[in-house]
């Protein structure tokens, strides 16, 4: 049994076209319907999720995803939520767009999951700025009742896929950074 199932992942290119994959090449866009229906048949109680990156902000990729979600809902395809991969930098400032994306998902009667969060730093960025971005993204989740999950894409910079940008809440020596404490503080306020 699976609690939350990332059924379909990263279906769109940045320009909103469907990504060429083995599934798309074999079945066209209907592969998404088939995958969700099969997942529901395999585990009727699982929360079935579509997951993608760069869809928490306005743009052609998000537009394509929302069009797909509306179509899935109209065809009664069993989908329960949307996973947002949020790989951003410490200068990130598109919180209003993120809140709007969360609102649009909730308006489709779907749950929201932040599935992959990291906040990279460039030279000149501070850990305090990084912590603020983490905290504000958590706040966007907490302020949206349909947000059901919030997870980082790792916890220590030592093993991060973006290690060179020190994006996580613990440094390479497993010491907590300001982001760790900012999230704790925000969760205690909730």
Assess whether 10 carries a catalytic annotation: yes
CA distance 31 to 20: 12
pLDDT tens readout for residues 159-171: 999 999 999 999 9
CA distance 77 to 189: 37
Answer yes or no: pTM beyond 0.85.
yes
pLDDT tens readout for residues 37-63: 999 999 999 999 999 999 999 999 999
Assess whether 29 carries a catalytic annotation: no
**Mean pLDDT over the full length of the chain:** 96
User: Pick the catalytic residue: 10, 97, 100, 132?
Assistant: 10
User: Pick the catalytic residue: 97, 100, 116, 127?
Assistant: 116
As a 3-state breakdown, the chain gives helix, strand, coil percent values, each rounded to 5, of 45, 25, 35
- The arrangement of strands across the sheet holding 111-120 comes to 4-9, 47-53, 81-89, 111-120, 147-152
């Amino acid at each position: 049994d699976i609690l939350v199932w990332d059924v379909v992942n990263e279906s769109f290119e940045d320009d909103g076209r469907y990504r060429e994959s083995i599934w798309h090449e074999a079945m066209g866009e209907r592969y998404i319907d088939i995958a969700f229906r099969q997942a529901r048949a395999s585990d009727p109680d699982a929360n079935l999720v579509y997951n993608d990156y760069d869809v928490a902000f306005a743009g052609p990729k998000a537009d394509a995803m929302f069009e797909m979600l509306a179509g899935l809902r109209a065809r009664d395809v069993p989908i329960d939520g949307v996973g947002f991969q949020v790989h951003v930098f410490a200068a990130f400032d598109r919180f209003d767009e993120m809140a709007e994306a969360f609102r649009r998902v909730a308006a489709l009667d779907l749950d929201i999951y932040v599935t992959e969060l990291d906040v990279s730093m460039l030279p000149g960025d501070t850990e305090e700025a990084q912590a603020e971005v983490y905290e504000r993204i958590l706040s966007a989740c907490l302020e949206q009742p349909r947000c059901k999950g919030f997870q980082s894409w790792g916890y220590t910079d030592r093993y991060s896929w973006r290690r060179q940008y020190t994006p996580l809440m613990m440094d390479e020596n497993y010491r907590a950074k300001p982001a760790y404490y900012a999230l704790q503080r925000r969760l205690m306020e909730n």
